Structure 1
Amino acid sequence: MAEACEGMSWVDKLKRYNDKHTVDKPKPTESEQEEEDEQLLGEYYIKFKNATDTDKYKLIPKFYSKPPADDEILQQKLREDARATFLQRRTTELMDNEELQKLWLLLEENPTPPDIGEDPMISFVDFQKIGEEVADKCKSYFTAGVFSKLLNNDPYGRISISQLFSYVMRKVWLQQTRIGLSLFDIQGLGYLKEVDLENYILELIPTLPQLKCLEESFYSFYVCTAVRKFFFFLDPMRTGKIKIQDVLACGFLDDLLELRDEDLSKDAQENNWFSAPSALRVYGQYLSLDTDHNGMLSRQELARYGTGTLTRVFVDRVFQECLTYDGEVDYKTYLDFVLAMENRKEPQALQYLYRLIDIKGQGYIDGFTLKYFFRAIQDQMKVHGHEAVKFEDVKDEIFDMVKPSDPYRITLQDLLNSGQGETVISILIDLNGFWTYENREVLLAEAQDVNTN
């Protein structure tokens, strides 16, 4: 008996025990089940009504059980196997490729006339008829709610067949992806830690043709590069975890899975953070900055980032606020820095940079803070022989751009509301950014002349 149980999962062992110790009895009919439920509900109501106030809370059914502790091995294993069984069942409930092909053929063969344009259309009546013919897995997509979502100014009240099929495909893909991500959610709490997402992306790499050029020795750096984008934008409070539903909703997975396209254009690859050229570019820049080849970046090395015109005080703030190791930053910290610098219009990037600018940690920027950072810009201008610019003029321009609720303080929310956050930050931390702002009219005129010619 013991030998027969070896190799069985905990769920199978429990099922086997349950089958052995359960007496077979006929399954109740639907009416009998309803009658039993009503009786139990009535008994519960009477018991709850007669209980004292202090005891009533004890009668409330338990609806939450905390996850098992690290030392509760049996409970953990049971939970893992139960989740795996649940996710496997959910997978079988999804439409497969053959069923999707059958759906497309059925839609293609039943368009609703008249033919207007190249895209076949379908009316609500024909939509309902097809809904009766499709497999059970597909019936949830043939509802009035789905039809109304896809309705778009057709004079005959029809919807596009291709849009309907794309909608179904998108839903199936989201469900498949959610199940795939959930397999890496070890605790089953609906979120992923960094190591969970790293394992997911590592297993995904061999399935993406656009990444076949990557050497296996680079996989760890690629995974780190990819994961940092998810956590930088989806975990701005640095909790160390992100919700699976946020991963599905953000669109980053679309960019990542775009790499399945073997014919992806060069421009699309360059604009995709997750592509091989992009990951190699970022890592190559890191190696180029690391002049002493110790795998870390010092203040002097990071100051060479971009055009090499970042101010000393700004670089110092990076090292004061970000995680360092013996006074130097590692690749992961560098990735956060790059994501902030390359996405200055995004709220998460502005939040990162604002924290560096707010030298007093007071939650707002005042005239003193602006002068502290702009003095470094003035020093750089002297070194490069540029004409001096008065601080008071720059300060007035910044406050005019932002229009804060308090005329003497600029909060992060003020910066976000103004839509000028990228410009303000660039003026304060980068000589090249300030020069571009100062000469914006000349640069615009030159660009117009180029376009005209």
Structure 2
Amino acid sequence: EHDKAQHPSLAAIPRLQLRKPRVSSTEAASLQAEVNKMACTRVREQMASLVLDASELEEMWALLKERRSEPLSPADERINYDDFTQVAALIAPAAASTFFCATSFLKFPLDEYGRISILHFYQWVRCKNAILRTRVELSCYDSSGDGTLTERELEQWVSDLLSQLPALANMQKEFFPFYKVTAVRKFFFFLDPRRRGRVA
């Protein structure tokens, strides 16, 4: 009302800029934390949707072998871009957009017929898939949601990972804490050269 009294045009023309309501710093901080948490969850879900399971990888391998391109050679199976795109059309859209794009095809050397090695491509897919899976796993341990892990968070990941490693199946339980600390310190030595106490 006071503004309308000073500026009569405001009665007919709406104000374009409104004052922000005052929010206490604790409310803003809790709201920001909630938004960060939701954003991290969405990113994690989106990354997890790109990870292929074992059956999808086997299906991809079968499709690649089925669609191999002429001239055929049993020792070195190859695929051209047309057949490559046909395989992409037959698999899940998320996997197709992640692994079956033109840039992925051109990462590999072409032979005189414009084909790439099926085996090399499949090995690349498996490696990239393993990296994606590990990133999703690691993001679950990121309590602050800033994309970094503290030493304690990394120790928790290593602890959970120890039971899944076949190479460590015969290791005595008494050595697990020492192995965990050694592994985490080695990660930090290589990934945290500035000694920030966090790895990204």
Superposition TM-score tier, normalisation by shorter sequence? 0.7 to 0.9
CA contact (8 A) 2:49 2:94 kept: no
Secondary structure (helix, strand or coil) at the match of 1:218 reads helix
Query: What root-mean-square deviation, in Å, do the aligned CA atoms of Structure 1 and Structure 2 show?
Result: 3.0
Counterpart of 1:142? Answer: 100
Alignment of 1:219 onto 2:176: yes
Unmatched 5+ stretches in structure 1: 1-46, 49-57, 59-67, 244-453
Counterpart of 1:186? Answer: 143
Alignment of 1:155 onto 2:112: yes
The structure whose RCO (Cα within 8 Å, separation 6+) is larger is: 2
Counterpart of 2:48? Answer: 91
Deviation of 1:82 after TM superposition, in Å, equals 6.1
Deviation of 1:185 after TM superposition, in Å, equals 1.0
Q: Structure 1: which amino acid aligns with 2:100? A: F
Relative to structure 1, the CA distance from residue 233 to residue 139 in structure 2 (aligned partners, 3 Å threshold; closer, same or farther) is same
- Over the matched positions of the two proteins, sequence identity in percent amounts to 37
Alignment of 1:180-329 (within 5 A): 180-243=137-200
Deviation of 1:202 after TM superposition, in Å, equals 0.6
Question: Which protein has the larger Cα radius of gyration, Structure 1 or Structure 2?
Answer: 1
Alignment of 1:402-421 (within 5 A): none
User: Per-residue CA shift, 1:124-151, capped at 9, x if unaligned?
Assistant: 121122222222122112221111111x
Rounded Cα–Cα distance in structure 2 between residues aligned with 1:165 and 1:196: 33
Rounded Cα–Cα distance in structure 2 between residues aligned with 1:119 and 1:107: 13
Range with greater deviation from structure 2 (87-96 or 134-143): 87-96
Unmatched 5+ stretches in structure 2: 1-15, 21-27
Deviation of 1:240 after TM superposition, in Å, equals 0.8
Alignment match of 2:70 (pick from 113, 126, 131):
113
User: Per-residue CA shift, 1:40-59, capped at 9, x if unaligned?
Assistant: xxxxxxx69xxxxxxxxx9x
Relative to structure 1, the CA distance from residue 144 to residue 76 in structure 2 (aligned partners, 3 Å threshold; closer, same or farther) is closer
User: Per-residue CA shift, 1:337-382, capped at 9, x if unaligned?
Assistant: xxxxxxxxxxxxxxxxxxxxxxxxxxxxxxxxxxxxxxxxxxxxxx
Deviation of 1:200 after TM superposition, in Å, equals 0.5
Secondary structure (helix, strand or coil) at the match of 2:58 reads helix
Secondary structure (helix, strand or coil) at the match of 2:44 reads helix
Secondary structure (helix, strand or coil) at the match of 1:149 reads coil
Rounded Cα–Cα distance in structure 1 between residues aligned with 2:155 and 2:58: 33
Runs of 4+ in 1 over 3 A off after TM superposition: 74-86
CA contact (8 A) 2:77 2:119 kept: yes
Deviation of 1:230 after TM superposition, in Å, equals 1.1
Rounded Cα–Cα distance in structure 2 between residues aligned with 1:147 and 1:134: 16
User: Per-residue CA shift, 1:154-196, capped at 9, x if unaligned?
Assistant: 1211100111111221221111110101111111111111111
Q: Structure 2: which amino acid aligns with 1:197? A: L
Counterpart of 1:344? Answer: none
User: Per-residue CA shift, 1:267-307, capped at 9, x if unaligned?
Assistant: xxxxxxxxxxxxxxxxxxxxxxxxxxxxxxxxxxxxxxxxx
CA contact (8 A) 1:193 1:240 kept: yes
Alignment of 1:345-364 (within 5 A): none
Give the aligned length: 178
Alignment of 1:167 onto 2:118: no
User: Per-residue CA shift, 1:315-349, capped at 9, x if unaligned?
Assistant: xxxxxxxxxxxxxxxxxxxxxxxxxxxxxxxxxxx
Relative to structure 1, the CA distance from residue 193 to residue 154 in structure 2 (aligned partners, 3 Å threshold; closer, same or farther) is same
Rounded Cα–Cα distance in structure 2 between residues aligned with 1:122 and 1:96: 23
Rounded Cα–Cα distance in structure 1 between residues aligned with 2:148 and 2:113: 45
User: Per-residue CA shift, 1:379-428, capped at 9, x if unaligned?
Assistant: xxxxxxxxxxxxxxxxxxxxxxxxxxxxxxxxxxxxxxxxxxxxxxxxxx
Counterpart of 1:268? Answer: none
Secondary structure (helix, strand or coil) at the match of 1:115 reads coil
Relative to structure 1, the CA distance from residue 82 to residue 149 in structure 2 (aligned partners, 3 Å threshold; closer, same or farther) is closer
- Name the TM-score, length of structure 2 as normaliser: 0.77
CA contact (8 A) 1:194 1:240 kept: yes
